[in-house]
Structure 1
Amino acid sequence: MLEKLFKLKEHDTNVKREIMAGLTTFLTMAYILAVNPNILAASGMNPNAIFMATAIASAIATFIMAFLANYPIGLSAGLGLNAYFAYTVCLGELANEPDPWRIALTAVFVEGIIFILLSFFKFREQIINSIPQNLKFGISAGIGLFIAFIGMQNARIIVANDATVVGLGSFTDLDMVLALVGLVIIAALVHYNIKGGVLIGIIVTWVIGMILQAAGIYVPAEGTSLFPSFAGGYDFGAISQTAFKLNFSWAASHIIQFLAITFSFLYVDLFDTVGTVVGVADKANLLDKDGNLPRVGQVFLADAVGTTAGALLGTSTITSFVESSAGVAAGGRTGLTALTTGVMFLVSIVLSPIFLAIPSFATAPALIYVGMLMLMSITKVKFDGDIADSVGAYLAVVMMPLAYSIATGIMFAVIAWVVLKVVSKKAKDVSPVMWIVFVLFVLRIAALVANFQ
């Protein structure tokens, strides 16, 4: 049956190898189950509900990837997109609205529906092909810096400073010290090719913290503990606090602002998914002779359905994970690898007290390290070529962390690129798609100006 479903012999693999690869992929991805509730809880959502929504939506999307696309790719809540959800949208643009997370979930839901339609009509690939390469690389690098900045804030490595806006935290703060130790641990594990190095690094850092707490050296915040509690079991009904809580009435009465938020989710998700899928497929030798990915529509459909299901359940955008390359390196070549990963996401639900007890100082190193992986795209940016490409990519990189907004970085990059193309008399290089993107961001600026008046 497995041979018929996944064509194992055709891809020169076997059941044992695929299952081990799936476990490897899950180990490298599982940190998101600790990180996502930590990030989204800042928006006012219930951490238990976020955990379950993340696990279920990840399983759904990964199962679709397994059975429909037959690729060894795992999906879950995307880093960067969850940060935009919590910090930029809920704590920023919608800070004065009641339950801003309900509005953000509505935007994610609409984004997912749009992507489902685009997947059916094959428009998504056309959109991606219209985006300048330099901007893609610059946006990816900018998101990396933004994620790292958030991780450093969560661990108090970087703190507020009245004189310089931000500054270095105190080495007397054990959260900062433990986070730095955790970063070294993760880096060392990855260097020695230890499978699940990011997750192991989180756990080891957490265990060190528990040892220090038991010794009376580390004192967690009042009312909290680093030790997980299984007392009373897990509240499986917690998901009812976020599931199907969309707010379409606000969206209808604030249509321009809502579309701008939705478009920002949509735009970032485009880069995240396409870059990851092509990169993993290339590593697994799944691209055809022209460098294209067969069944790419099914790949995007898995992402789109996962995002839609995740929004209905109560989590941010679901996207393909670059950590899937670890499973590919372990021999994964088919959807059986993805199926194994999806099953593990469901199994993780019963272990939620463990994941939810993991503190910020333990998850922050994962954010900082993954931020570095995304920042590596900066090496692909061509700064000595077309001025529009150079400035657009540069603004994407610097504006995301400095303005504390992924959407703002993208907005500056796109607007600068189009304007400089016109100024340098290369307007013919601007595709219809980029003109549409440009107009939408101009409308977003207009909406922001109107909010300040």
Structure 2
Amino acid sequence: MIFVILTLTGLREYIINAIPMEMKMAVSAGIGFFITFVGLQSSGIIAGDDATLISLGDVHSGGVLLTFAGLVITVILMTKKVPAAIFFGMIITALLGIVTGIVPMPSAIVGSVPSVAPTFGAAFEGLMDFDTIFNVQFLIVVLTFLFVDFFDTAGTLVGVASQANLIKDNKLPRASKALLADAFATITGAIFGTSTTTICRIYSRCRSWGTERIASVVTGVFLAAIFFSPLIVTFTSEVTAPALIIVGILMASNLSKISWGRFEVAVPAFLTVFMMPLTYSIATGIAIGFIFYPITMIMAGKRKEINPIM
């Protein structure tokens, strides 16, 4: 609800437009690194290690080999400029996984729509106890989630917009509409009991079609997909990981738009990019980079270039 209020007042859009262009590019690239890290981790290509924190996973396992095969297939399709290469790469990888027995065969193609009864409306149960929600501890929890979701959404929106070349004069046209849709989707998702519904959930799919105009069609296909829920067992993390890695590569191209020769810009940009995957949080990466940005800019004598919001 706070999201809706902040969006209607224009504050969310104002904050996004106040972010310097080079920091927007850092956010976009950082999300790319984060997405790639998620893909590498979920597929088992990288794994936890007590001595070094992370290390190369079991490259002889079927899941890792399937991911590598899917990555090679998708890279070839992308290099050959095949339309919807990422989408077709996932389909081919899924079929290859079924043939080799790594991916389970779906029990059916069409199934009944899963019931929402266990989670629908459960969010309201806690609101009935006023002593639980009207206290300092609960307010801290709300503000913490508000901050994380605010900058997760802002960062992803900036990443999507920059990748699609939608940012003009360091501003995102009609950002308020996207933010308002996100705010209402967050409320709707909470009522249904899903994880937070944000822009990043559909980004990698929309990006694979190569145009933002088809995004609404893809979203509609997601809605129709609930009738094909038995097929979800086929699209395991090993199948989707190559798509995440490729999207990360595409978003990393924004690094070229950062003036690395300017130390006062390079420091916050680097920390933004680097800390997102290492802290496993888009919001934390943004927070660290945005704290250093005014410090380095002021010390470089460029106070006038800093927006008061920053």
Q: Return the TM-score normalized by structure 2.
A: 0.82
Q: Aligned pair in 2 of structure 1 residues 297, 414: CA closer, same or farther (>3 Å)?
A: closer
Q: Deviations over 1:254-283 (max 9, x none)?
A: 423431332121113113224534654749
1:316 maps to a residue whose letter is: T
2:275–2:285 Cα contact (<8 Å) kept? yes
Encode CA deviations 1:278-325: one digit per residue, 9 max, x unaligned. 654749xxx7xx797765533433333233323332132322737646
Q: Secondary structure at the match of 2:105?
A: coil
1:390 is the counterpart of 2:266 = yes
The answer for the alignment partner of 1:304 in structure 2 is 183
Change (3 A) 1:268 1:389: farther
- Which residue number corresponds to residue 258 of structure 2? 381
* 2:50 paired residue among 152, 157, 162: 162
Pair 1:414 & 2:293 matched: no
| Identical pairs, percent | 33
Q: Assess, with a 3 A threshold, how the Cα gap between structure 1 residues 255 and 227 changes in structure 2: closer, same or farther.
A: same
Seen in structure 2, the aligned counterparts of structure 1 residues 294 and 149 have a Cα distance that, compared at 3 Å, is closer
Establish whether residue 315 from structure 1 lines up as the match of residue 195 from structure 2. Answer: yes
Aligned to 1:53: none
* Residues 338-396 of structure 1 deviation map (CA, whole Å, 9 limit, x = unaligned): 554343222211111102432221111112111212222211111112x3321101101
Distance in 2 between residues matched to 1:138 and 1:278, nearest whole Å = 10
Please identify, of 128-137 and 255-264, the stretch whose mean Cα deviation from structure 2 is larger. 255-264
Give the equivalent residue in structure 1 for 2:73: 185
Spell out, residue by residue over 1:182-206, the C-alpha distance to the aligned partner (whole angstroms, 9 max, x if none): 1111122222333332222222212
Q: 2:31 aligns with which of 129, 138, 143?
A: 143
Deviations, residues 135-192 of structure 1 (Å, cap 9, x unaligned): 2211221221122112111111111223322111222211111101111111222223
Provide the residue aligned with 2:104 in structure 1.
226
More displaced stretch, 273-282 vs 357-366: 273-282
Residues 250 and 199 from structure 1, CA distance in 2 versus in 1: closer, same or farther, beyond 3 angstroms?
farther
- Mapped to 2, the partners of 1:251 and 1:368 lie a distance apart of 43
1:120 aligns with 2:8: yes
Give the letter for the 1:127 counterpart.
I
Tell me whether 1:267 sits opposite 2:144 in the alignment: no
Q: Matched residues in 2 for 1:338 and 1:145: separation?
A: 23
- What displacement does 1:240 show? 2.8
Partner Cα distance (1:338, 1:152) in 2: 26
Q: Is the 8 A contact 1:229 1:353 kept in 2?
A: yes
Deviation at 1:326, TM superposition (A): 6.1
- Further displaced range: 167-176 or 114-123: 114-123
CA contact (8 A) 2:47 2:54 kept: yes
SS at match of 1:159: strand
Deviation at 1:424, TM superposition (A): 3.6
Q: Distance in 2 between matches of 1:321 and 1:273?
A: 9
Judged with a 3 Å threshold, the aligned counterparts in structure 2 of structure 1 residues 245 and 376 are, in CA distance, closer, same or farther, namely farther
* TM superposition shift of 1:410: 1.6
Q: Match of 2:53, as an amino acid?
A: V
Q: Which amino acid aligns with 2:249?
A: M
Contact 1:116 1:305 in 2 (8 A): yes
Measured in 1, the distance between the counterparts of 2:165 and 2:299 equals 38
Alignment match, 2:40:
152
Residue in structure 1 matched with residue 246 of structure 2 by the alignment: 369
Q: Secondary structure at the match of 1:236?
A: coil
Classify 1:310/1:374 alpha carbon distance in 2 versus 1 (closer, same or farther; 3 Å). farther
Q: What do you get for the CA RMSD once the two structures are aligned?
A: 3.1
Change (3 A) 1:242 1:372: farther
Aligned twin of 2:120: 243
Pick closer, same or farther for the CA change 1:236–1:393 going to 2, 3 Å.
same
Contact 1:280 1:324 in 2 (8 A): no
**Matching residue's letter, 1:261:** F
Q: Give the Cα–Cα distance (whole angstroms) in 1 for the partners of residues 170 and 163 of structure 2.
A: 11
Structure 1 counterpart SS, 2:54: strand
Can you give the 5+ residue segments of structure 1 that lack an aligned partner in the other structure? 1-112, 219-224, 435-453
The CA deviation string for residues 73-126 of structure 1, in whole angstroms up to 9 with x for no partner, is xxxxxxxxxxxxxxxxxxxxxxxxxxxxxxxxxxxxxxxx34433443333332
Distance 1:395 1:354 in 2: 40
Partners of 1:132 and 1:312 lie apart in 2 by 35
Cα displacement string for residues 53-91 of structure 1 (whole angstroms, at most 9, x for unaligned residues):
xxxxxxxxxxxxxxxxxxxxxxxxxxxxxxxxxxxxxxx
C-alpha separation between the residues in 2 aligned to 1:399 and 1:261? Answer: 19
Q: Is the 8 A contact 1:134 1:390 kept in 2?
A: no
